[in-house]
Amino acid sequence: MSESGQEQLRQRLVIVGRELYQRRYVSACEGNISLRTGSGNVLISAAGSNLGKLNSADIIEIDLAGKQTGTQTSRDSGPSSESGMHLAVYIAREEVSACVHSHAPYATAYAVASKEPEEDILPEVVALVGPIRLTQYASPGTPEVGESLQPFLSECNAFLLKNHGLLTIGENLKVAHQRHEIVESYLKILTIASSLGNIDKLPPAEITRLKKLLAES
Ligand SMILES: [Zn+2]
């Protein structure tokens, strides 16, 4: 991949990192983001980086075994400690090219409360995200985080990491990021609707129609 092409990909990660920070989905050194390059390697935020203040020197290139490749950056602190989680996704899902992980507060609250939300309440969740699954707890930064995704990895684009945070994935960074925002907004709405005392589901025919849209996307 050309140097300018790589730089463009790095800049996309920089922009998404900033947006996650601005929306307060991450603070300090929380969260990590990555994408798969055309050469099959992965660009991922560096260990300990603040996603709101990322620059291209804070993006590390690794291969699917987790080994650093390519030109290393001046400020190289190694790839995110959650690289294993990202790699587990890329290895299992060939069509996935981006992962976004944050500690977005509503999603993390659901993960703390062990509440797995039903996905048939808002149209955009059914059509654009699909099932949202709650994983078993795994210590952040360990291989167990990747393993905790395995039961749902074949059919799921959004994971509530137990007592940890939110992971969304997609065929590109735009889709993975969009799913992240949709899930967090959805769980905020569900929290408010719960306090109002009633949550109605979409009609079954509408769910069938919307699921078809997701399958075709
Ligand atoms: Zn995390």
121-156: pLDDT as tens digits: 999 999 999 999 999 999 999 999 999 999 999 999
Ligand 1 centre to CA of 174 (Å) is 20
Which amino acid is residue 123, in one-letter code?
A: P
Dist CA 21 CA 2 (whole Å) = 29
Where does the pLDDT of residue 216 fall: very low under 50, low under 70, confident under 90, or very high at 90 and above? confident
Ligand 1 centre to CA of 172 (Å) is 20
Can you give the three-state secondary structure of 150-171, one letter per residue? HHHCCCCCEEEECCCEEEEEEC
Ligand 1 centre to CA of 152 (Å) is 19
CB 57 within 8 A of CB 6: no
Ligand 1 centre to CA of 128 (Å) is 23
pLDDT of residue 71: 65
CB 61 within 8 A of CB 73: no
pLDDT of residue 60: 94
Strand, helix or coil for residue 47: coil
Ligand 1 centre to CA of 205 (Å) is 37
Residue partners of 181: CB distance under 8 A and separation at least 6:
23
CA distance to 54, 121, 125, 169, per residue, from 58 (Å): 6, 39, 32, 21
Domains in the chain: ranges and CATH = 3-216 (3.40.225.10)
Ligand 1 centre to CA of 16 (Å) is 16
pLDDT of residue 68: 93
Only one residue has tokens 């939110």, namely: 166
Dist CA 74 CA 71 (whole Å) = 10
Ligand 1 centre to CA of 137 (Å) is 12
Ligand 1 centre to CA of 160 (Å) is 11
Where does the pLDDT of residue 73 fall: very low under 50, low under 70, confident under 90, or very high at 90 and above? low
Ligand 1 centre to CA of 165 (Å) is 6
Provide the pairing of β-strand 98-102 with 32-36: antiparallel
CA distance to 20, 69, 96, 201, 207, per residue, from 155 (Å): 25, 30, 12, 22, 17
Ligand 1 centre to CA of 149 (Å) is 14
Mean pLDDT of the chain: 94
Ligand 1 centre to CA of 103 (Å) is 6
Percent of the chain scored above 70 by pLDDT?
Answer: 96
